[in-house]
Protein backbone atom coordinates (compact mmCIF):
# COMPACT_ATOMS: atom_id res chain seq x y z
CA UNK A 1 0.00 0.00 0.00
CA UNK A 2 1.62 3.31 -1.03
CA UNK A 3 2.25 5.84 1.71
CA UNK A 4 1.51 9.51 1.58
CA UNK A 5 4.13 11.85 2.91
CA UNK A 6 4.25 15.01 4.92
CA UNK A 7 7.63 16.10 3.74
CA UNK A 8 9.37 12.87 4.75
CA UNK A 9 7.06 11.12 7.22
CA UNK A 10 5.17 8.20 5.67
CA UNK A 11 1.85 6.91 6.88
CA UNK A 12 2.02 3.30 7.96
CA UNK A 13 -0.31 0.80 6.28
CA UNK A 14 -2.03 0.31 9.66
CA UNK A 15 -2.68 4.04 9.98
CA UNK A 16 -4.15 4.14 6.48
CA UNK A 17 -6.44 1.20 7.24
CA UNK A 18 -7.62 2.74 10.51
CA UNK A 19 -8.32 6.05 8.79
CA UNK A 20 -10.36 4.34 6.08
CA UNK A 21 -12.23 2.36 8.75
CA UNK A 22 -13.11 5.57 10.60
CA UNK A 23 -14.40 7.18 7.42
CA UNK A 24 -16.37 4.03 6.58
CA UNK A 25 -17.92 4.01 10.06
CA UNK A 26 -19.37 7.45 9.39
CA UNK A 27 -20.74 6.16 6.09
CA UNK A 28 -22.28 3.22 7.96
CA UNK A 29 -24.14 5.65 10.23
CA UNK A 30 -25.37 7.67 7.25
CA UNK A 31 -26.61 4.58 5.43
CA UNK A 32 -28.48 3.47 8.52
CA UNK A 33 -30.13 6.82 9.22
CA UNK A 34 -31.12 7.30 5.58
CA UNK A 35 -32.99 4.03 5.15
CA UNK A 36 -34.21 3.01 8.59
CA UNK A 37 -37.34 5.18 8.31
CA UNK A 38 -38.58 2.98 5.46
CA UNK A 39 -38.97 0.03 7.81
CA UNK A 40 -40.42 2.07 10.68
CA UNK A 41 -42.98 4.27 8.92
CA UNK A 42 -46.03 2.61 10.59
CA UNK A 43 -44.40 2.96 14.01
CA UNK A 44 -43.56 6.61 13.41
CA UNK A 45 -46.98 7.37 11.94
CA UNK A 46 -48.90 5.81 14.84
CA UNK A 47 -46.81 7.74 17.37
CA UNK A 48 -46.59 11.18 15.73
CA UNK A 49 -49.93 11.15 13.87
CA UNK A 50 -52.19 9.17 16.23
CA UNK A 51 -55.52 10.74 15.24
CA UNK A 52 -54.90 10.38 11.53
CA UNK A 53 -53.57 6.86 12.03
CA UNK A 54 -56.74 5.89 13.91
CA UNK A 55 -58.90 7.12 11.00
CA UNK A 56 -56.71 5.89 8.14
CA UNK A 57 -53.39 4.05 8.61
CA UNK A 58 -52.73 4.37 4.86
CA UNK A 59 -53.04 8.17 4.96
CA UNK A 60 -50.88 8.39 8.08
CA UNK A 61 -48.17 6.22 6.53
CA UNK A 62 -48.27 8.34 3.38
CA UNK A 63 -47.81 11.52 5.39
CA UNK A 64 -45.00 9.94 7.41
CA UNK A 65 -43.33 9.20 4.06
CA UNK A 66 -42.51 12.90 3.89
CA UNK A 67 -39.76 12.14 6.41
CA UNK A 68 -37.96 10.22 3.65
CA UNK A 69 -38.59 12.99 1.13
CA UNK A 70 -37.34 15.64 3.56
CA UNK A 71 -34.09 13.72 4.02
CA UNK A 72 -33.56 13.43 0.26
CA UNK A 73 -34.20 17.16 -0.19
CA UNK A 74 -31.72 17.95 2.59
CA UNK A 75 -29.05 15.95 0.75
CA UNK A 76 -29.72 17.74 -2.54
CA UNK A 77 -29.56 21.18 -0.93
CA UNK A 78 -26.73 20.56 1.50
CA UNK A 79 -24.24 18.69 -0.66
CA UNK A 80 -23.03 21.54 -2.91
CA UNK A 81 -23.64 24.28 -0.35
CA UNK A 82 -21.68 22.83 2.56
CA UNK A 83 -18.91 21.32 0.43
CA UNK A 84 -18.34 24.60 -1.37
CA UNK A 85 -18.23 26.63 1.83
CA UNK A 86 -15.74 24.42 3.68
CA UNK A 87 -13.31 23.58 0.84
CA UNK A 88 -10.57 25.81 2.28
CA UNK A 89 -10.60 24.26 5.76
CA UNK A 90 -8.80 21.20 7.12
CA UNK A 91 -10.63 18.15 5.83
CA UNK A 92 -10.28 16.21 9.09
CA UNK A 93 -11.74 19.12 11.04
CA UNK A 94 -14.61 19.49 8.58
CA UNK A 95 -15.42 15.77 8.79
CA UNK A 96 -15.44 15.97 12.59
CA UNK A 97 -17.80 18.95 12.54
CA UNK A 98 -20.08 17.16 10.08
CA UNK A 99 -20.10 14.10 12.33
CA UNK A 100 -21.05 16.32 15.26
CA UNK A 101 -23.89 17.85 13.24
CA UNK A 102 -25.16 14.37 12.36
CA UNK A 103 -25.10 13.41 16.03
CA UNK A 104 -27.01 16.46 17.24
CA UNK A 105 -29.63 16.39 14.46
CA UNK A 106 -30.26 12.66 14.91
CA UNK A 107 -30.66 13.13 18.65
CA UNK A 108 -33.21 15.84 17.85
CA UNK A 109 -35.13 13.37 15.68
CA UNK A 110 -35.22 10.93 18.59
CA UNK A 111 -36.59 13.39 21.17
CA UNK A 112 -38.67 16.06 19.39
CA UNK A 113 -42.37 15.69 20.23
CA UNK A 114 -44.28 16.64 17.05
CA UNK A 115 -44.36 15.42 13.48
CA UNK A 116 -43.51 18.87 12.13
CA UNK A 117 -40.41 19.20 14.29
CA UNK A 118 -39.24 15.67 13.47
CA UNK A 119 -39.76 16.46 9.78
CA UNK A 120 -37.55 19.54 10.14
CA UNK A 121 -34.91 17.55 12.01
CA UNK A 122 -34.73 15.00 9.18
CA UNK A 123 -34.14 17.78 6.65
CA UNK A 124 -31.41 19.29 8.85
CA UNK A 125 -29.85 15.86 9.51
CA UNK A 126 -29.46 15.32 5.77
CA UNK A 127 -27.64 18.58 5.04
CA UNK A 128 -24.16 17.20 5.98
CA UNK A 129 -24.77 13.93 4.05
CA UNK A 130 -23.34 14.83 0.65
CA UNK A 131 -20.54 16.97 2.03
CA UNK A 132 -19.42 14.12 4.30
CA UNK A 133 -19.32 11.58 1.49
CA UNK A 134 -17.66 14.03 -0.90
CA UNK A 135 -14.89 15.06 1.47
CA UNK A 136 -14.44 11.54 2.84
CA UNK A 137 -14.07 10.31 -0.75
CA UNK A 138 -11.33 12.87 -1.39
CA UNK A 139 -9.52 11.85 1.79
CA UNK A 140 -9.89 8.15 0.99
CA UNK A 141 -8.61 8.69 -2.55
CA UNK A 142 -5.57 10.57 -1.29
CA UNK A 143 -4.83 8.01 1.40
CA UNK A 144 -4.36 5.31 -1.24
CA UNK A 145 -2.77 7.67 -3.75
CA UNK A 146 -2.65 7.88 -7.56
CA UNK A 147 -3.60 4.68 -9.34
CA UNK A 148 -5.71 3.50 -6.39
CA UNK A 149 -8.07 6.43 -5.96
CA UNK A 150 -11.27 4.62 -6.93
CA UNK A 151 -10.45 1.88 -4.43
CA UNK A 152 -10.12 4.53 -1.75
CA UNK A 153 -13.54 5.92 -2.66
CA UNK A 154 -15.04 2.42 -2.69
CA UNK A 155 -13.61 1.57 0.74
CA UNK A 156 -15.21 4.69 2.21
CA UNK A 157 -18.52 3.77 0.54
CA UNK A 158 -18.33 0.24 1.97
CA UNK A 159 -19.85 1.58 5.18
CA UNK A 160 -22.95 2.65 3.26
CA UNK A 161 -23.39 -0.75 1.64
CA UNK A 162 -22.78 -2.69 4.86
CA UNK A 163 -25.41 -0.51 6.53
CA UNK A 164 -27.98 -2.02 4.18
CA UNK A 165 -26.94 -5.51 5.27
CA UNK A 166 -26.52 -4.97 9.02
CA UNK A 167 -27.36 -1.46 10.23
CA UNK A 168 -30.81 -0.97 8.74
CA UNK A 169 -32.19 -4.43 9.68
CA UNK A 170 -30.81 -4.13 13.22
CA UNK A 171 -32.08 -0.58 13.77
CA UNK A 172 -35.47 -1.61 12.36
CA UNK A 173 -35.62 -4.55 14.79
CA UNK A 174 -34.76 -2.25 17.69
CA UNK A 175 -37.35 0.30 16.57
CA UNK A 176 -40.08 -2.30 16.29
CA UNK A 177 -39.30 -3.79 19.69
CA UNK A 178 -38.39 -0.72 21.76
CA UNK A 179 -39.93 2.18 19.87
CA UNK A 180 -38.78 4.03 16.77
CA UNK A 181 -37.01 6.68 18.85
CA UNK A 182 -34.64 4.01 20.21
CA UNK A 183 -33.49 3.29 16.66
CA UNK A 184 -32.47 6.91 16.15
CA UNK A 185 -30.69 6.98 19.51
CA UNK A 186 -28.56 4.07 18.29
CA UNK A 187 -27.80 5.93 15.06
CA UNK A 188 -26.82 9.05 17.02
CA UNK A 189 -24.41 6.91 19.06
CA UNK A 190 -22.91 5.60 15.82
CA UNK A 191 -22.29 9.15 14.62
CA UNK A 192 -20.69 10.12 17.93
CA UNK A 193 -18.40 7.07 17.75
CA UNK A 194 -17.42 7.80 14.13
CA UNK A 195 -16.60 11.42 15.01
CA UNK A 196 -14.22 10.27 17.76
CA UNK A 197 -12.68 7.73 15.37
CA UNK A 198 -12.11 10.38 12.70
CA UNK A 199 -10.36 12.69 15.16
CA UNK A 200 -8.17 9.83 16.36
CA UNK A 201 -7.35 7.98 13.15
CA UNK A 202 -7.67 10.25 10.11
CA UNK A 203 -4.47 12.20 9.37
CA UNK A 204 -4.67 15.97 9.21
CA UNK A 205 -5.16 17.04 5.63
CA UNK A 206 -5.20 20.65 4.58
CA UNK A 207 -7.97 21.99 2.40
CA UNK A 208 -7.58 24.47 -0.41
CA UNK A 209 -6.84 27.83 1.30
CA UNK A 210 -7.63 29.88 -1.79
CA UNK A 211 -10.96 28.19 -2.46
CA UNK A 212 -14.22 30.03 -1.81
CA UNK A 213 -17.80 29.05 -2.49
CA UNK A 214 -17.78 31.30 -5.54
CA UNK A 215 -14.70 29.60 -6.95
CA UNK A 216 -16.05 26.14 -6.17
CA UNK A 217 -19.25 26.97 -8.04
CA UNK A 218 -17.19 27.40 -11.20
CA UNK A 219 -17.46 23.64 -11.51
CA UNK A 220 -20.89 24.19 -13.10
CA UNK A 221 -19.19 25.76 -16.11
CA UNK A 222 -17.93 22.33 -17.13
CA UNK A 223 -20.13 20.45 -19.57
CA UNK A 224 -18.62 17.14 -18.46
CA UNK A 225 -19.67 17.83 -14.86
CA UNK A 226 -23.26 18.31 -16.06
CA UNK A 227 -23.02 15.07 -18.03
CA UNK A 228 -21.80 13.19 -14.94
CA UNK A 229 -24.63 14.63 -12.84
CA UNK A 230 -27.17 13.68 -15.50
CA UNK A 231 -25.82 10.13 -15.59
CA UNK A 232 -26.37 9.82 -11.84
CA UNK A 233 -29.72 11.65 -11.71
CA UNK A 234 -31.33 9.78 -14.60
CA UNK A 235 -29.45 6.53 -15.04
CA UNK A 236 -29.25 5.68 -11.34
CA UNK A 237 -32.96 6.41 -11.05
CA UNK A 238 -33.48 3.06 -12.74
CA UNK A 239 -32.33 1.30 -9.58
CA UNK A 240 -34.64 3.28 -7.30
CA UNK A 241 -37.64 2.67 -9.54
CA UNK A 242 -37.32 -0.97 -8.46
CA UNK A 243 -35.83 -0.64 -4.97
CA UNK A 244 -38.62 1.68 -3.80
CA UNK A 245 -41.29 -0.95 -4.55
CA UNK A 246 -39.43 -4.15 -3.78
CA UNK A 247 -41.77 -5.01 -0.87
CA UNK A 248 -44.96 -5.25 -2.98
CA UNK A 249 -42.99 -6.97 -5.73
CA UNK A 250 -42.05 -9.67 -3.22
CA UNK A 251 -45.53 -10.08 -1.71
CA UNK A 252 -47.82 -9.35 -4.67
CA UNK A 253 -45.80 -10.59 -7.66
CA UNK A 254 -43.73 -13.41 -6.15
CA UNK A 255 -46.48 -14.31 -3.69
CA UNK A 256 -44.10 -14.57 -0.74
CA UNK A 257 -44.91 -13.76 2.88
CA UNK A 258 -44.15 -10.31 4.28
CA UNK A 259 -41.45 -11.87 6.46
CA UNK A 260 -39.42 -12.57 3.31
CA UNK A 261 -39.02 -8.86 2.51
CA UNK A 262 -36.17 -8.20 5.00
CA UNK A 263 -34.22 -11.12 3.54
CA UNK A 264 -34.64 -9.68 0.06
CA UNK A 265 -33.35 -6.34 1.34
CA UNK A 266 -30.36 -8.06 2.93
CA UNK A 267 -29.66 -9.77 -0.40
CA UNK A 268 -29.69 -6.42 -2.19
CA UNK A 269 -27.31 -5.06 0.45
CA UNK A 270 -24.92 -7.98 -0.06
CA UNK A 271 -24.93 -7.36 -3.80
CA UNK A 272 -24.24 -3.67 -3.20
CA UNK A 273 -21.30 -4.48 -0.93
CA UNK A 274 -19.66 -6.76 -3.48
CA UNK A 275 -20.37 -4.43 -6.40
CA UNK A 276 -18.88 -1.47 -4.56
CA UNK A 277 -15.57 -3.24 -3.97
CA UNK A 278 -15.34 -4.68 -7.49
CA UNK A 279 -16.05 -1.28 -9.01
CA UNK A 280 -13.24 0.29 -7.02
CA UNK A 281 -10.71 -2.05 -8.63
CA UNK A 282 -12.13 -1.78 -12.14
CA UNK A 283 -12.50 2.02 -12.12
CA UNK A 284 -8.81 2.44 -11.29
CA UNK A 285 -8.14 0.86 -14.69
CA UNK A 286 -10.78 2.73 -16.69
CA UNK A 287 -13.60 4.86 -15.35
CA UNK A 288 -15.39 5.00 -18.70
CA UNK A 289 -15.38 1.26 -19.35
CA UNK A 290 -16.38 0.48 -15.77
CA UNK A 291 -19.33 2.87 -15.85
CA UNK A 292 -20.66 1.51 -19.13
CA UNK A 293 -20.15 -2.09 -17.98
CA UNK A 294 -22.19 -1.67 -14.80
CA UNK A 295 -24.93 0.29 -16.55
CA UNK A 296 -25.32 -2.38 -19.22
CA UNK A 297 -25.30 -5.06 -16.53
CA UNK A 298 -28.04 -3.25 -14.60
CA UNK A 299 -30.12 -2.94 -17.77
CA UNK A 300 -29.89 -6.68 -18.41
CA UNK A 301 -30.64 -7.54 -14.79
CA UNK A 302 -33.72 -5.30 -14.69
CA UNK A 303 -35.11 -7.02 -17.78
CA UNK A 304 -34.36 -10.38 -16.16
CA UNK A 305 -36.29 -9.40 -13.02
CA UNK A 306 -39.21 -8.13 -15.08
CA UNK A 307 -39.71 -11.52 -16.74
CA UNK A 308 -38.80 -13.79 -13.79
CA UNK A 309 -40.05 -12.01 -10.63
CA UNK A 310 -42.90 -14.49 -10.16
CA UNK A 311 -40.27 -17.08 -9.15
CA UNK A 312 -38.94 -16.26 -5.68
CA UNK A 313 -35.52 -17.97 -6.16
CA UNK A 314 -35.00 -16.10 -9.43
CA UNK A 315 -36.07 -12.86 -7.74
CA UNK A 316 -33.41 -13.38 -5.07
CA UNK A 317 -30.80 -13.88 -7.78
CA UNK A 318 -32.02 -10.81 -9.63
CA UNK A 319 -32.02 -8.47 -6.65
CA UNK A 320 -28.48 -9.51 -5.68
CA UNK A 321 -27.35 -8.73 -9.22
CA UNK A 322 -29.18 -5.40 -9.38
CA UNK A 323 -27.61 -4.37 -6.06
CA UNK A 324 -24.20 -5.41 -7.42
CA UNK A 325 -24.67 -3.38 -10.60
CA UNK A 326 -26.17 -0.31 -8.92
CA UNK A 327 -23.46 0.07 -6.31
CA UNK A 328 -20.83 -0.48 -8.98
CA UNK A 329 -22.14 2.68 -10.60
CA UNK A 330 -22.03 4.85 -7.45
CA UNK A 331 -18.27 5.09 -6.71
CA UNK A 332 -17.50 5.14 -10.44
CA UNK A 333 -19.61 8.28 -10.97
CA UNK A 334 -17.94 9.72 -7.86
CA UNK A 335 -14.51 9.17 -9.40
CA UNK A 336 -15.69 10.54 -12.74
CA UNK A 337 -16.84 13.77 -11.11
CA UNK A 338 -13.50 14.14 -9.33
CA UNK A 339 -11.72 13.65 -12.67
CA UNK A 340 -13.63 16.33 -14.57
CA UNK A 341 -13.97 18.93 -11.79
CA UNK A 342 -10.57 20.57 -12.13
CA UNK A 343 -9.83 22.58 -8.98
CA UNK A 344 -13.39 22.32 -7.59
CA UNK A 345 -12.81 18.91 -6.06
CA UNK A 346 -14.78 19.29 -2.83
CA UNK A 347 -18.05 20.43 -4.34
CA UNK A 348 -17.81 17.99 -7.26
CA UNK A 349 -17.30 15.02 -4.94
CA UNK A 350 -20.34 16.07 -2.92
CA UNK A 351 -22.52 16.72 -5.97
CA UNK A 352 -22.53 13.00 -6.70
CA UNK A 353 -24.84 12.49 -3.73
CA UNK A 354 -27.17 15.26 -4.84
CA UNK A 355 -27.39 13.53 -8.22
CA UNK A 356 -28.04 10.10 -6.72
CA UNK A 357 -30.76 11.47 -4.44
CA UNK A 358 -32.41 13.15 -7.42
CA UNK A 359 -32.32 9.70 -9.01
CA UNK A 360 -33.90 8.33 -5.85
CA UNK A 361 -36.78 10.80 -6.06
CA UNK A 362 -37.18 10.43 -9.85
CA UNK A 363 -37.22 6.64 -9.87
CA UNK A 364 -39.62 6.41 -6.94
CA UNK A 365 -41.96 9.05 -8.36
CA UNK A 366 -42.13 7.57 -11.87
CA UNK A 367 -42.49 4.06 -10.48
CA UNK A 368 -45.34 5.17 -8.24
CA UNK A 369 -47.00 7.00 -11.12
CA UNK A 370 -47.20 3.88 -13.28
CA UNK A 371 -48.45 1.79 -10.36
CA UNK A 372 -51.22 4.35 -9.83
CA UNK A 373 -52.49 3.67 -13.36
CA UNK A 374 -53.31 0.09 -12.32
CA UNK A 375 -50.79 -1.70 -14.55
CA UNK A 376 -49.26 -3.67 -11.67
CA UNK A 377 -46.05 -3.85 -9.67
CA UNK A 378 -43.89 -5.06 -12.56
CA UNK A 379 -44.39 -1.72 -14.32
CA UNK A 380 -41.76 0.17 -12.24
CA UNK A 381 -39.16 -2.32 -13.41
CA UNK A 382 -39.78 -1.29 -17.01
CA UNK A 383 -39.54 2.34 -15.89
CA UNK A 384 -36.14 1.39 -14.49
CA UNK A 385 -35.19 -0.14 -17.84
CA UNK A 386 -36.02 3.13 -19.56
CA UNK A 387 -34.09 5.29 -17.08
CA UNK A 388 -31.07 2.99 -17.20
CA UNK A 389 -31.07 3.08 -21.00
CA UNK A 390 -31.11 6.87 -20.86
CA UNK A 391 -28.15 6.76 -18.48
CA UNK A 392 -26.17 4.61 -20.92
CA UNK A 393 -26.90 7.00 -23.79
CA UNK A 394 -25.82 10.02 -21.74
CA UNK A 395 -22.62 8.28 -20.65
CA UNK A 396 -21.67 7.27 -24.19
CA UNK A 397 -22.38 10.78 -25.46
CA UNK A 398 -20.26 12.27 -22.67
CA UNK A 399 -17.26 10.06 -23.44
CA UNK A 400 -17.56 10.63 -27.18
CA UNK A 401 -17.57 14.41 -26.78
CA UNK A 402 -14.63 14.19 -24.41
CA UNK A 403 -12.59 12.17 -26.90
CA UNK A 404 -13.45 14.65 -29.64
CA UNK A 405 -12.36 17.54 -27.45
CA UNK A 406 -9.08 15.82 -26.62
CA UNK A 407 -8.44 15.33 -30.31
CA UNK A 408 -9.11 18.95 -31.20
CA UNK A 409 -6.96 20.23 -28.33
CA UNK A 410 -3.96 17.91 -28.70
CA UNK A 411 -3.94 16.60 -32.21
CA UNK A 412 -3.67 12.92 -33.22
CA UNK A 413 -0.22 12.43 -31.73
CA UNK A 414 -1.30 13.74 -28.32
CA UNK A 415 -4.28 11.49 -27.69
CA UNK A 416 -4.40 9.56 -24.43
CA UNK A 417 -5.29 5.99 -25.33
CA UNK A 418 -6.06 4.74 -21.85
CA UNK A 419 -8.09 7.01 -19.62
CA UNK A 420 -6.44 5.47 -16.57
CA UNK A 421 -3.22 7.19 -17.66
CA UNK A 422 -4.97 10.52 -17.71
CA UNK A 423 -6.62 9.74 -14.37
CA UNK A 424 -3.19 9.25 -12.80
CA UNK A 425 -1.89 12.49 -14.25
CA UNK A 426 -4.91 14.33 -12.90
CA UNK A 427 -4.56 12.64 -9.54
CA UNK A 428 -0.93 13.66 -9.22
CA UNK A 429 -1.91 17.27 -9.87
CA UNK A 430 -5.01 17.44 -7.67
CA UNK A 431 -4.16 14.90 -4.98
CA UNK A 432 -0.60 15.91 -4.07
CA UNK A 433 0.90 14.45 -0.94
CA UNK A 434 -0.11 16.96 1.70
CA UNK A 435 -1.32 14.60 4.43
CA UNK A 436 0.20 14.89 7.87
CA UNK A 437 0.70 11.84 10.03
- pLDDT at residue 215, rounded to an integer: 65
Taking a C-beta distance cutoff of 8 angstroms, is the pair 270, 162 a contact?
Answer: no
SS3 112: coil
**Among positive and negative, which fits the CA dihedral 71, 77, 83, 85?**
negative
Domain boundaries, the chain: 1-211, 219-410+423-430
Q: What is the pTM of this model?
A: 0.69
Of 269, 252, 384, nearest in space to 316 by CA: 269
**CA-based Rg of the chain, rounded to a whole angstrom?**
21
For residues 263 and 266, give the distance between their C-alpha atoms in angstroms, rounded to a whole number. Answer: 5
- pLDDT at residue 72, rounded to an integer: 79
Given a cut of 70, the residues of the chain with pLDDT beneath it are 1-11, 38-39, 41, 58, 61-62, 65, 83-84, 87-88, 145-153, 206-219, 341-346, 348-350, 407-437
For residues 347 and 284, give the distance between their C-alpha atoms in angstroms, rounded to a whole number. Answer: 21
- pLDDT at residue 324, rounded to an integer: 93
* β partners of residue 435: 205
Q: Regarding beta strands 435-436 and 9-10, do their DSSP bridges make them parallel or antiparallel, or are they unpaired?
A: unpaired
- pLDDT at residue 108, rounded to an integer: 95
For residues 383 and 245, give the distance between their C-alpha atoms in angstroms, rounded to a whole number. Answer: 12
- DSSP output for 248-306: HIIIIIS---GGGHHHHHHHHHHHHHHHHHHHHHHHTT-HHHHHHHHHHHHHHHHHHHH
Taking a C-beta distance cutoff of 8 angstroms, is the pair 383, 305 a contact?
Answer: no
Give domain 219-410+423-430's CATH superfamily.
MFS general substrate transporter like domains (1.20.1250.20)
SS3 217: helix
* β partners of residue 436: 204
- Number of residues assigned to the chain: 437
- pLDDT at residue 56, rounded to an integer: 76
- pLDDT at residue 141, rounded to an integer: 75
- pLDDT at residue 91, rounded to an integer: 80
- pLDDT at residue 340, rounded to an integer: 76
For residues 72 and 356, give the distance between their C-alpha atoms in angstroms, rounded to a whole number. Answer: 10
Q: Which fold has domain 1-211?
A: Growth Hormone; Chain: A; (1.20.1250)
- pLDDT at residue 411, rounded to an integer: 47
Amino acid sequence: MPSLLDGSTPLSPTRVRLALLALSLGAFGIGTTEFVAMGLLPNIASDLLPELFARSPEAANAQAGWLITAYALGVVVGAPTIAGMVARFSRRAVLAWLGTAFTVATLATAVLPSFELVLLSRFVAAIPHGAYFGIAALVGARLLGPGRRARGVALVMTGLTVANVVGVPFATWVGQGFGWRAAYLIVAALFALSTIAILGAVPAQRGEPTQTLRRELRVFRSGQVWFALAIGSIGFGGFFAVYSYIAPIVTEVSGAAESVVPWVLVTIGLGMTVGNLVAGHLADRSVARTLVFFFVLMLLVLMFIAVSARSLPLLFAGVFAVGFAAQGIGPTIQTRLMDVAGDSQSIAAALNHSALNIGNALGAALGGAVIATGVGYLAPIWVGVGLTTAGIVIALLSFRLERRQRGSNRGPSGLVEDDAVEDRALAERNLGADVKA
